[in-house]
Amino acid sequence: MNVLSRFHRGWLVLCLAGAAIASALAIAGRETLPQAAAISATGPPSLTVAIATLQPATFPDRVAANGNIVAWQEVSIGAEAANLRLIEVEVDVGDKVRRGQPLARLANETVLAELAQSRASVAEADAAHAEAAANAERAVSLQDSGALSTQQIQQTVTAKHTARARLDAARAVEKMQRLRLAQTRIVAPDDGVISSRTATVGAVVPAGQELFRLIRRGRLEWRAEVAAADLARLKPGQKVGITATGGDVVEGRLRMLAPAIDAQTRNGLVYVDLPPGDMTRAGMFAHGEFEVGTSKVMTLPQSAVLLREGFGYVMCVGADARVIQTKVTPGRRSGDRVEILSGLDAEDRVVALGVAFLGDGDLVRVARDMP
- Per-residue pLDDT tens digits for 149-182: 778 878 888 998 999 999 999 999 999 999 999 9
Mean pLDDT (the chain) is 84
Predicted TM-score (pTM) of the model is 0.61
Q: What percent of the chain has pLDDT over 70?
A: 86
Choose among 215, 222, 214, 218: nearest CA to 273: 222
pLDDT tens digits, 301-351: 999 999 988 899 999 998 888 999 999 999 888 888 999 999 898 889 999
Q: Are 341 and 299 in contact (CB under 8 A)?
A: no
Choose among 222, 259, 229: nearest CA to 63: 229
Q: Are 201 and 251 in contact (CB under 8 A)?
A: no
15 burial class (0-12, 13-18, 19+ CB within 10 angstroms)? exposed
Residue 36 has pLDDT above 60, yes or no: no
Domains and CATH numbers, the chain: 47-57+296-370 (2.40.420.20), 64-72+219-295 (2.40.30.170), 76-107+184-218 (2.40.50.100), 111-181 (1.10.287)
Q: Are 287 and 64 in contact (CB under 8 A)?
A: yes
pLDDT tens digits, 56-89: 998 888 888 999 999 999 999 999 988 899 999 9
pLDDT band at 295 (very low <50, low <70, confident <90, very high): confident
3-state secondary structure of 277: coil
CA–CA dist 267, 284 (Å, integer) = 20
Q: Are 291 and 61 in contact (CB under 8 A)?
A: yes
pLDDT band at 37 (very low <50, low <70, confident <90, very high): very low
pLDDT band at 5 (very low <50, low <70, confident <90, very high): very low
Q: What angle do CA 178, 184, 189 make, to 5 degrees?
A: 100
